[in-house]
């Protein structure tokens, strides 16, 4: 009986941990996207037990014409879930991959290059020119869309520390 209680406690703790780690995952996607992920999950969950297993992955790959997938590759895929991969974990993994932002400190370091005085702000017009003309060029509409969500100081400069927080944690107003 004691081992049964311990097993139940372990399951409850694992469920609480899974819930904590993914409680906001459904808010990351629109309902139509969630439905598409459910369909994809159903296609991969070959035995329909609600958990993606190694045999499910093998069968899915086989149906896609790739019969000899190395065991290590399948193990790596399953290890990304850090436990059984149910639909919530599946959705969380995709959310992490799709959101895929750099760590906040990396983004701050990039902005600091445009802030030699260390004031915590960058000039909006100079930054706009960079976005429109350098590397992965933004369109004018994309720049305006970004600026509509960007915190500015009283002088109209970009508060990049607040912007980095929004990029990595989301805008509090959205929640």
Q: What is the dihedral of CA 93, 31, 24, 101, to 10 degrees?
A: 50
The pLDDT of residue 21: 44
The pLDDT of residue 28: 77
Query: CB of 84 within 8 A of CB of 51?
Result: yes
Q: Which contacts qualify for 74-79: CB closer than 8 Å, 24 or more apart?
A: 78/52, 78/53, 78/54
Summarised one tens digit per residue, pLDDT across range 53-110 is: 999 999 999 988 888 899 999 999 999 888 999 999 998 888 777 665 567 788 898 8
Q: Which CATH code fits 104-169? A: 1.10.238.10
Summarised one tens digit per residue, pLDDT across range 103-160 is: 778 889 889 988 889 999 999 999 999 999 987 889 999 999 889 889 999 998 999 9
Residue 39 has pLDDT above 80, yes or no: yes
The pLDDT of residue 2: 46
The pLDDT of residue 33: 84
CA distance 44 to 36: 13
Residue 8 has pLDDT above 70, yes or no: no
**87-99 vs 31-44: helix axis angle to the nearest 10?**
120
Q: Which residue has the higher pLDDT, 58 or 4?
A: 58
What pTM did the predictor assign? Answer: 0.46
Number of Cβ within a 10 Å radius of residue 45: 20
Domain coordinates of the chain in residue numbers?
29-98, 104-169
CA distance 92 to 169: 15
The pLDDT of residue 64: 85
Q: Examine domains 29-98 and 104-169 and report if their fold is the same.
A: yes
CATH 1.10.238.10 at 29-98, yes or no: yes
Residue 13's pLDDT band, with cuts at 50, 70 and 90, is: very low
SS3 category, 121: strand
Q: Which residues contact 149 (CB under 8 A, 6 or more apart)?
A: 166, 171
Give the Å distances, CA to CA, from 154 to 76, 104, 126: 49, 24, 17
């Amino acid at each position: 009986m004691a081992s049964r209680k311990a097993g139940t406690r372990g399951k409850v703790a694992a469920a609480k941990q899974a819930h904590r780690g993914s409680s906001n995952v459904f808010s990351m996607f629109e309902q139509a996207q969630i439905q598409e992920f459910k369909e994809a999950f159903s296609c991969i969950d070959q035995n329909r037990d609600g958990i993606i297993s190694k045999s499910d992955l093998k069968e899915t790959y086989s149906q896609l014409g790739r019969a000899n997938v190395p065991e290590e590759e399948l193990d790596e895929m399953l290890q990304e879930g850090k436990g059984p991969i149910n639909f919530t974990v599946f959705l969380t993994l995709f959310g992490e991959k799709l959101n895929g932002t750099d760590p906040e400190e990396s983004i701050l370091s990039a902005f600091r290059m445009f802030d030699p005085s260390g004031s915590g702000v960058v000039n909006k017009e100079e930054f706009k020119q960079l976005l429109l003309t350098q590397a992965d060029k933004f369109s004018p509409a994309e720049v305006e869309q970004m600026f509509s969500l960007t915190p500015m100081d009283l002088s109209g400069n970009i508060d990049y520390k607040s912007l980095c927080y929004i990029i990595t944690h989301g805008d509090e107003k959205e929640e």
